[in-house]
Structure 1
Amino acid sequence: MGVNTESESPKSGRATFVPVQRSLYPMLVALFVVVFIISNITATKGVQIGPLVTDGAFFLFPVAYILGDVLSECFGFRAARQAIYIGFGAMLLAIFSFLIAIALPAADFYPNQHEFATTLGVVPQIVLASLSGYLVGQLLNSWTLIKIKERTGEKSLWARLLGSTVIGELGDTILFCLIAASVIGISTTADALNYIAVGFVWKVSLEVVLLPVTYVVISWVKKRENYA
């Protein structure tokens, strides 16, 4: 990573710059935010694979929780919380940008206004469900990981990762479903429970499968950051 080493005082008259710290944190936050935004866009497509009915973000959204685990484990709750808030703000900016772009009059030579609006248009209730689930789920995920780490120290990383995933994903899935249920066609308690159970089991299972990858990433980040 390139680092600006300019240290001249502004009073010297020479061009000066704020030093860039040698840390992976900004890169991880950027990746965390990008994954969250892309997931919310691809989630607008319904997907059916055999008997499994899901959305286009099923393979990507859990990655946001893995990155949240990495941020929490390596940098602490305050740094992870900051990343979560940045992601929340970035998604709000994306939503408002989509709405403005859709509302702007299409040029005569642009034939895809309807498709553009259909793809990027948002349903307020879905947006509320997604943002609420993300915010609560990620904060629970990070908080749980840190609380377990305070008890176990550096031991039992697997317990922190799995425990935080279970709590975070459960909060996220329940909140999203309760808010979005009527919009996505869920009208009975049985259907709601089924939707919550399937979504929760899938997300947690995927993160369990990717646990070795999370271990490797955390180890690499700690080494790069000279973690003591």
Structure 2
Amino acid sequence: MSETKTVDPDRSGHPAPEHAAFATAAGGYFTQVAVAFTAVLLISNVCVTKGVQFFSGHHLSWGPLQLLPLNTDGAFFLFPLAYVIGDILSEVYGFRATRRIVYYGFGALLLMIACFWLVIKLPTGDLQEDAGAFQSVLGNTPQLAFAGIAGYFVGQFLNSITLVLIKERTKEKHLWARLLGSTVAGEFGDTFVFCSIAATAIGIHTWPDYINYTIVGFIWKTLVEMMVLPISYRCIAFLKKREPSYAPRSRAAIFE
């Protein structure tokens, strides 16, 4: 193994490099990871149109804070994976490459919204008696789409840049701190922005419901990151080992 690829002073005995290591976003597994990220993003932004409430028959409050029922949306089980994959992208390929995927995801979301709008406007004639069902499911897309795009931009940039900045200081050590720290920053920004804009579109109209919706979303997404941490470790180790271009890079090369 060449010295440029030896980045763990604790295991190899070699001194830590001057800069954090990243792989180039060409060939390798970059495309597969990017496609998985975009797919999760698009599917989540369709599932989010359904409001979900757990323990709806129970009402429990602690002062002004509503504890039960728990308010969330239909993307609660899938969307956190976008941040898990975003962490993998940022850790292995760096901020510059992840920023490209954020832009691609933004374009894909805009295309999806435009297609939904166009299909809703198209006439059905006598072909379908329940044509309104399509609009009832996806008719809220302008508000939800704006919420998704705004939250996505804020959250993913916070997530990626936080992870890369921590990695600049820690190099290859303390991966858990980078993954959790970036998730807390990214999920907080995403959840606050998204919930603030999207709440009324899924039936949330009171402050207790809104606060519950925001807190539940943030805590749940952070817990998902913690639960899948062992999988994230394995995926990152797999990619670092098999990406031939993974090597230390200067700060300018990472952020330009």
What is aligned with 1:82? 100
More displaced, 192-201 or 86-95? 192-201
Q: CA deviation at 1:211?
A: 0.7
Matches within 5 A, 1:30-49: 30-49=35-54
Letter in 2 for 1:46: G
Q: CA deviation at 1:187?
A: 4.6
Contact 2:51 2:203 in 1 (8 A): no
Letter in 2 for 1:212: P
Q: CA deviation at 1:188?
A: 4.8
Of 73, 76, 96, 2:114 maps to 96
**Residue 117 (structure 1) aligned with residue 139 (structure 2):** no
CA distance in 1, matches of 2:185, 2:219: 12
Contact 1:95 1:122 in 2 (8 A): no
Q: CA deviation at 1:34?
A: 0.8
Contact 1:173 1:196 in 2 (8 A): yes
Q: CA deviation at 1:84?
A: 0.8
Q: CA deviation at 1:180?
A: 2.7
Contact 1:141 1:167 in 2 (8 A): yes
| Structure-2 change in CA distance of 1:45 and 1:194 (3 Å) | closer
CA distance in 2, matches of 1:182, 1:47: 13
| Structure-2 change in CA distance of 1:189 and 1:53 (3 Å) | closer
Of 165, 178, 192, 2:196 maps to 178
CA distance in 1, matches of 2:82, 2:198: 20
Deviations 1:127-183 (A, max 9, x none): 211110011100100000000000000000000000000000000111112223444
Contact 1:65 1:138 in 2 (8 A): yes
Residue 47 of structure 1: SS of its match in structure 2?
strand
Letter in 2 for 1:176: F
Letter in 2 for 1:150: E
| RMSD of Structure 2 on Structure 1 (CA) | 1.8
What is aligned with 2:218? 200
CA distance in 1, matches of 2:185, 2:50: 27
Q: Which runs of 5+ in 2 are unaligned?
A: 1-25, 56-68, 248-256
Contact 2:71 2:212 in 1 (8 A): no
How high is the TM-score relative to the length of structure 2? 0.76
What is aligned with 1:29? 34
Q: Percent identity?
A: 54
**Residue 160 (structure 1) aligned with residue 160 (structure 2):** no
Q: CA deviation at 1:102?
A: 1.3
How high is the TM-score relative to the length of structure 1? 0.85
Greater RCO (CA < 8 Å, at least 6 residues apart)? 2
| Structure-2 change in CA distance of 1:75 and 1:207 (3 Å) | same
| Structure-2 change in CA distance of 1:106 and 1:74 (3 Å) | same
